[in-house]
Homo-oligomer: A and B are copies of this chain.
Amino acid sequence: MSRFAQRYAYLRRLVDRRLSSVVKHSEPRDLADASRYILRGGGKRVRSTLVLLSCEAVGGRVQDAIDAAVAVEMLHNFTLVHDDVMDNAPTRRGRATVHTRWNLNTAILVGDTVLGLAYRSLLRSTTPNIRRAAQLFTEGFIDVCEGQAFDLEYERRRIITLQDYYRMIGKKTGKLIATATELGGLLGNGSLQEVDALRTFGTKIGRAFQIQDDLLDVVADAKAFGKTIGGDIVEGKKTFLLVQAFQYARGTDRKVLRPLMAGQTPPATHAARKRLIATITDIYQRCGAIEAARNQIRRETAAGIRALHALRPTIARDMLQWFSEMLVQRNF
């Protein structure tokens, strides 16, 4: 394992340990159990790691940002619990979702509570800029909700352009990643210019990260991914691939894509779903949407890394670069 990979594993464990001990009480029982279940559910801890590395990249220490890092991770988990309800998702990271394992009411309340615990953790940060930190966090939170609302709205719209797509993912995914890097810079007491650079880095990387996620739905290793391959296709999600392919495709291909874009009902049988996934994946490949996704990921990542050049060259900065490259090259 490289030194960076070791460091990442260390930071991830640090965050995991903190998240494991957040819920201390055992009552009300379902709420306490389900909150613990969520916070101990693992995950890549991307956002918290970005908070910590961004803090270090401006000369701060891990301990300056750990409360905020844990808070951002909880904010992310809050969105997962509520999104899973809205998307009717039965599993997440290979485990039953809260509304499946418990029920709808518990899922709503667990989401709400985890968000409250996130603010509690954030407000423990010992920075003179606590107002600014809480404001950043709050704007991230509001945008994530709006992004999810756009996502739901797009399910009912007939045509989604790339511009619509970028607006949606900018709020739903990108903003929280930019919040993570900006918050890290703020808590590390970075200069205005450094904090700006970190936000730009986060925005670009967040975009690349989401396009990569869309791409993985089609090309990932199913087992490592923890989700069903082609899930986005079956659910008619407005991914980068679909939106781009609909723009590129002509003739029969475009006709095949049209009902997907218009939000057709998913096929009823397993065999029909498999056929649909194969057909659509083929079109994505043929019309150049997959290549366009890979190019776009590369461009956004490069732009993000360029923004990092405004920071002094440090090991932490190099590690931020390593981490973002790893994220967008992942196959899980």
Is the Cβ of B138 less than 8 Å from the Cβ of A30?
no
> In the complex the two chains form, is A146's CB within 8 Å of B108's CB?
no
Interface residues of A in 82-117 (CB under 8 A from B): 82, 85-86, 104-106, 108-109, 111-113, 115-117
Is A28 engaged at the interface, CB distance under 8 Å to the other chain?
Answer: yes
| Stretch of A147-155, A201-209, A229-237, A241-249 with 4 or more beta carbons under 8 angstroms from chain B | A147-155
Could you tell me if B149 and A134 are in contact, using CB atoms closer than 8 angstroms? Answer: no
Is A277 engaged at the interface, CB distance under 8 Å to the other chain? no
The reply to whether the CB of A5 lies closer than 8 angstroms to some CB of chain B is no
In the complex, whether A141 has a CB less than 8 A from a CB of chain B is yes
Decide if B138 touches A116 in the complex (CB within 8 Å): yes
Task: Check A272 for interface membership: any CB of B closer than 8 A.
Answer: no
Q: A108-B108, A113-B142, A134-B134 are in contact. Are A149 and B86 (CB under 8 A)?
A: no
In the assembled complex, the CB of A108 is this many whole angstroms from the nearest CB of chain B, namely 5
Residues A134 and B119 in contact in the complex (CB < 8 Å), given A28-B150, A30-B153, A145-B31: yes
Q: Assuming A105-B152, A119-B141, A139-B120, is B31 touching A112 (CB within 8 A)?
A: no
Q: A105-B86, A109-B148, A149-B109 are in contact. Are A123 and B142 (CB under 8 A)?
A: no
Decide if A108 touches B82 in the complex (CB within 8 Å).
yes
Q: Which interface class (under 10, 10 to 19, 20 to 34, 35 or more) fits A? A: 35 or more
**Interface flag for A131 (CB, 8 Å):** yes
A193 interfacial by beta-carbon distance below 8 Å = no
Partner of A117, one of B28, B30, B86, B142: B142
Chain B residue contacts of A131, Cβ below 8 A: 123, 130-131
Given A119-B134, A130-B131, A135-B123, A146-B85 contact (CB < 8 Å):
no
A89 to chain B, nearest CB (A): 13
Q: Shortest CB–CB separation between residue A316 and chain B, in angstroms? A: 27
- The chain B residue with its CB closest to the CB of A137 is B119
State in angstroms the CA–CA spacing of A27 and B149 once bound together. Answer: 9
Q: Would you give the shortest CB distance from A30 to chain B, in whole angstroms? A: 7
- Asked if A85 and B109 sit within 8 Å, CB to CB, the answer is no
A109 and B153 in contact (CB under 8 A), knowing A123-B135, A134-B123?
no
Q: Is A3 located at the chain interface by the 8 A CB criterion?
A: no
Contact B119–A119 (Cβ < 8 Å): yes
User: Is A223 in contact with chain B by the CB < 8 A criterion?
Assistant: no
Q: Is the CB of A153 within 8 A of B82?
A: no
Any B CB within 8 A of the CB of A29: yes
Q: Which of A217-261 contact B (CB under 8 A)?
A: none
| Complex contact B108–A85 (CB within 8 A) | yes
Docked CA distance A111–B116 (Å): 13
**Closest A-B pairs by Cβ, 5 of them:** A28-B149, A116-B142, A31-B149, A119-B138, A86-B105
* Chain A to chain B contacts (Cβ below 8 Å), 5 pairs: A27-B150, A30-B153, A85-B105, A86-B109, A123-B134
